[in-house]
Amino acid sequence: MRKLGVIADDFTGATDIAGFLVANGMTTVQTNGVPSPDFNVEADSYVISLKSRSCAKEEAVRDSLAALRWLQGQGCEQIYFKYCSTFDSTEKGNIGPVTDALMKALDTDQTVLCPALPINKRTVYKGYLFVNDQLISESGMRYHPVTPMRDSKLSRLMESQSEGKTDTLTLDTLQEGVEAVSRFLSQSRVKGYSYVVLDAISQEHLDIVAKAISDMPLVTGGSGLAASLARLNPENRKKTSEAISIGRPKVAKTIIFSGSCSEATNRQVTCYNNSADGLRIDKDALLQDPNAYTKEVLTWLIPRLDDPFAPLVYATVPAQELEFSKEKYPDGLVEHAVEEFFGNLAIELQKMGVRNFITAGGETSGKIVQSLGISAFYIGPQIDPGIPWVKAVDQDIYLALKSGNFGADDFFLKAQREMV
């Protein structure tokens, strides 16, 4: 079996793709950053989660190349650069620079761009990215606080931040089958196109693409195409139950932290508050005295840790309120304070016996992982597409790290139903 090495540009994006790999039979280990040289855990695939989506370009390239070297050292024969299915990257974003650096390091002159994840209604048609049948530039993603998506044409976004030219493989060619896709890619390469945007509106389209690019040294995209690549080996399907069982959570004290302000997470918080106790963070109190506020929240939390449903602590607010908060507070002040608050709470709650942590939002998830000192995970069952439970390799801690835009409205309840 060929080993697959994944370089993901954020925490929740990493668990997203890892979940799809495990669901399709590949034992998978996810690491928090590039592992140390002595890290030795055997798996069919390795997913390295970086924090490179919105950092400085030079830092994103440096960390991605370090990840590549480690993956090559594990014998990974195909590298997958994983970014969000919403292609969270502005004109000066990092997808282009990282792709160019990886292509150069792998000595390859062509790769594909495939953010499509049809099961979560992320599709590409005529080279334009859609979310829930809307152009992404007309969806809620146009208000994203860090990477507002105001252009839906992927070739234009890619060429604004990269060195090469971008071609588009449309649905007409894709529907002709694997040979037609392979022929198009070959012809595009001869014409000097470094990147090829792939149309895809169903998983079956991604299955076709996977067969055509099975030997491509570098693939870039969302998790949908990775699922199709995993399915290429029939042996993988026989191992699905075994692969999933490693990361299934046990019934134990549980906490939910929500830092995302996406439309999906707002719906999830509203839904959960109808079934369980939730505490909205008082930003003024937090900024005034973080230590005193942390103690106050712990006092509220402790008697609720044995409730039938876990307590929820959230900073999630609707888009209009988020804009008001930005006007009221200096840029980044509240966001930083909230993440530090979540991290400190996680540490204290772990001491009190909390073993299951459910988080919403990439920054929130990353902070919890960092605060708990977790360096690597086994991947367990998917709660919703792209959101699996994971288990710390060296601790009795389970986590569900949810991307802000993913999950059904009842996600927080469904996550707890996976416990055995």
Written as one string, the DSSP assignment of 50-65 is ---SSS-HHHHHHHHH
> What is the rounded average pLDDT for all residues in the chain?
92
Predicted confidence band of residue 51 (pLDDT cuts 50, 70, 90): confident
- Predicted pLDDT at 237: 66
Domains of the chain: residue spans and CATH? 4-241 (3.40.50.10840), 246-417 (3.40.980.20)
Q: What is the largest CA-CA distance in the chain?
A: 66
CA 111 to chain centre: 21
Alpha carbons 140 and 138: distance in angstroms, whole number: 7
What phi and psi, each to the nearest 5 degrees, are found at residue 361? 115, 135
CA 95 to chain centre: 14
- Predicted pLDDT at 10: 87
- Predicted pLDDT at 89: 66
Q: What angle do CA 30, 33, 37 make, to 5 degrees?
A: 90
Tokens encoding 51? 């924090």
Average pLDDT for 335-362 = 96
Using DSSP, state whether 66 is helix, strand or coil.
Answer: helix
pLDDT per residue as tens digits for the range 302-340: 999 999 999 999 999 997 787 777 777 777 788 899 999
Q: Tokens 């900073």 — which residue?
A: 315
Tokens encoding 203? 């998983």
Alpha carbons 364 and 398: distance in angstroms, whole number: 15
Q: How many CB atoms lie within 10 A of CB 338?
A: 22
Alpha carbons 115 and 118: distance in angstroms, whole number: 10
Least confident of 68-82, 179-193, 222-236, 252-266: 222-236
Cα torsion 186, 192, 194, 200: sign = negative
Average pLDDT for 98-111 = 98
- Predicted pLDDT at 168: 98
